[in-house]
Each structure stands twice: as structure tokens, then as C-alpha cells.
Amino acid sequence: MSDLTNIARPYAKAAFDFAVEQKALDAWLEMLVFAAEVAKHEQVAAILRTNGTAETQADLFIQVCGEQLNEQGRNFIKVMAENHRLLALPEVLATFIEHKAAYEKEITVEVTSATTLNTAQQDKLIAALSQRLARKVKLHCSVNPDVVGGMLIKAGDMVIDGSVRGKLDRLATALQS
């Protein structure tokens, strides 16, 4: 998987830079989302794995995508096909999304709590995290009864364990030391 990520990085960067230059980030995101879904489809992936020519692979891919791709999107697909990289489209999309989030200074924060957070709690959490991280925060909330109380917050590499389970584990470690 990391091979595809490394392969996808320059394509994602090129697509992102072009999208910023053209002020078309959302349009490129839509095209890449659609193209990545097409590349993940079993039948299309099987065809892309065969030794067909780059031109036939690009033509097939462009026909499947149809009106979802503009002229620049079709050219992007042709370049990826010439280099036999169409299977890396899902990773190109993931990297493009990372670039877009960094550019727009936003971050998705994973919040796991014992119970469902209400709107007021989510708003308060968004305000506190936005201030701490100096970014626009989007919450992705999930419920896990094993958390017991409090919450577990993951934002990129940062983890804030405010759960009762985490506090008990830290206390046990401290007492054993």
C-alpha cells in the first residue's frame, strides 16, 4: 500500500497545484472522487491490471467517467495511464484531500465518547479545538461504551485521552512505578 502512496504523491501534488492555480479545488475533488471510485471497481481494476496499451486503458477509463471529467481531468487520466498509474487513483484522492485540508487550514478530528455528544457539546468542543489547533475543525464523532466516561480525541498525530479508562490506566502505571 505504501508503494501506491509514494506513486500517488506527485500526481496528487500536481493536480492540487493545478486546481489551486485554476481556482477549481472543489471541481477537481469531485473529479478525483469519481475517478477513484471507478478505479476501485473490480471489473475496471481487472482491466487496468492487464497489459493493455496506455491509450486503450485511458480511453476506456474516460468513457466510463464520461461527463464527470473535464478536459484537464481527461488529460490527467491520460498521463496517469501512460505511466500505468491508474490503479493509484484512490491514493491520489487521499493525498489530494490532505493537501486541500492543509491549504484550507482545516482538520478532521476523531472523537470517541461513551455516549452520543449533543449539538451544544460538539459546538463547545469545536470552539476549544479550533483555538488550540489554530485550524477549522470538523468533528467525526463515534460512540464506544468501553471509553466509560469522558472522551478520546485524535487530531492527526495528536491524541488527547480524557477518558476515565485512560485516567485509570495512567494511575495504575504511576502506582506500579
User: pLDDT tens for residues 118-160?
Assistant: 999 999 999 999 999 888 898 999 999 888 888 999 988 889 8
97 and 118 together in one domain: no
Q: What angle do CA 157, 162, 164 make, to 5 degrees?
A: 135
Give the contacts of 155 (CB within 8 A, at least 6 positions apart).
Answer: 107, 108, 109, 110, 129, 133, 137
What CATH number is associated with residue 139? 3.40.30
Last residue of a domain, one of 101, 130, 161: 101
59 and 109 together in one domain: no
pLDDT in tens, 96-126: 998 998 898 888 899 999 889 999 999 999 9
| Structural domain harbouring 140 | 105-176
What CATH number is associated with residue 9? 1.10.520.20
Counting the structural domains of the chain, the total is: 2
E strands within the chain?
A: 106-113, 136-143, 151-155, 158-161
Last residue of a domain, one of 49, 73, 101: 101
Q: Are 69 and 27 in contact (CB under 8 A)?
A: no
**pTM (predicted TM-score):** 0.70
Q: Running DSSP on this structure, what letter comes out for residue 24?
A: -
8 and 89 together in one domain: yes
10 and 49 together in one domain: yes
**Which burial class, exposed, middle or buried, applies to 78 when counting CB atoms under 10 A from its CB (0-12, 13-18, 19+)?**
middle
Last residue of a domain, one of 83, 101, 119: 101
Q: Are 113 and 143 in contact (CB under 8 A)?
A: yes
